[in-house]
Amino acid sequence: MFEKRKKYGLLIFALLLLVAIVFLFYLDFKSSNKNLTFAMLDIGQGDALFIESPTGTQILFDSGPPRKILSTLSRVMSPFDRDIDAIVITNPDADHIGGFMDVLRVYKVGAVFEPGTVSDSKTYQNLKEEMENKNIPDILVKRGMHLDIGGGATIDILFPDRDVFDWSSNDGSIVAKLTYGETSFMLTGDSTIKTEKIILSKNSPEVLDSTILKVGHHGSRTSSSAKFIKAVSPEYALISNGKDNKYGHPHRREFNK
């Protein structure tokens, strides 16, 4: 009698497990949509932006500091998804790349895009070594690159427009514009006023005009000049920083009208 009940119990457990798996797949299928997904991830003091095109191409701009990114990625990615098409290193500072080692440990990454600035930090050197070990293509971005990520979503690189090997990490930061239909996002990394001046000199206000501005360098006074903000003319601005951070970001500033 005991053996018979045990068999029935195992059968019921197996059926419940099957139902749970089917339900999870259903939720995963139902949650997939035909729109662009753009998410500023909550990783504290740093930057991490997740993009998924309507056709499913996934790109991660920066990853924040270590041990923060995976839990936030799980909120925007399917639990069955272990592939990311590309990661973008806007600059090699730890608050932008610290979480990428965690990402490479869990996800298969198709390519890495970076600006060409370098760092002698252990975090950056370890990341470069892991990229090489996993044979991940390492692509140097340049102004004029146009990435069609599917479903009408595109990414255009506005900076660097030159070799920034010996530039500071912030001055050489990647600046890109994500466009989907009538909505666009200006992604500035940690770019400075110096960088903004170059971008302003090479692009018309029509090119720079964006719906949403990801504010440069966490709202630091070294970024977001009045001329740049006027050219971008965003409806919304997003700032990524940690509560009560030691840098005092975002800095309070006033502009003359």
The CA distances from residue 194 to 5, 91, 166, 176, 205, in Å, are: 75, 15, 15, 16, 17
Which residues make Cβ contacts (< 8 Å) with residue 2, sequence separation at least 6? Answer: none
Q: What is the mean pLDDT of residues 153-162?
A: 98
**Residue 8 pLDDT class (50, 70, 90 cuts):** low
**Residue 19 pLDDT class (50, 70, 90 cuts):** low
Exposed / middle / buried, residue 34 (Cβ in 10 Å: 0-12, 13-18, 19+) = exposed
- Name the pTM for this structure: 0.85
> What pairs with residue 112 in β-bridges?
87, 138
Per-residue pLDDT tens for 174-228? 999 999 999 999 999 999 999 999 999 999 999 999 999 999 988 888 999 999 9
Per-residue pLDDT tens for 83-140? 999 999 999 999 999 999 999 999 999 999 999 999 999 999 999 999 999 999 999 9
> Which fold is adopted by the domain 32-238?
Metallo-beta-lactamase; Chain A (3.60.15)
The CA distances from residue 111 to 19, 172, 184, in Å, are: 36, 20, 23
CB 218 within 8 A of CB 239: yes
Tokens of 221: 């006074």
Cα distance between residue 237 and residue 212, in whole Å = 6
Predicted confidence at residue 17, as pLDDT, reads 57
Per-residue pLDDT tens for 28-66? 544 455 799 999 999 988 999 999 999 999 999 999 999
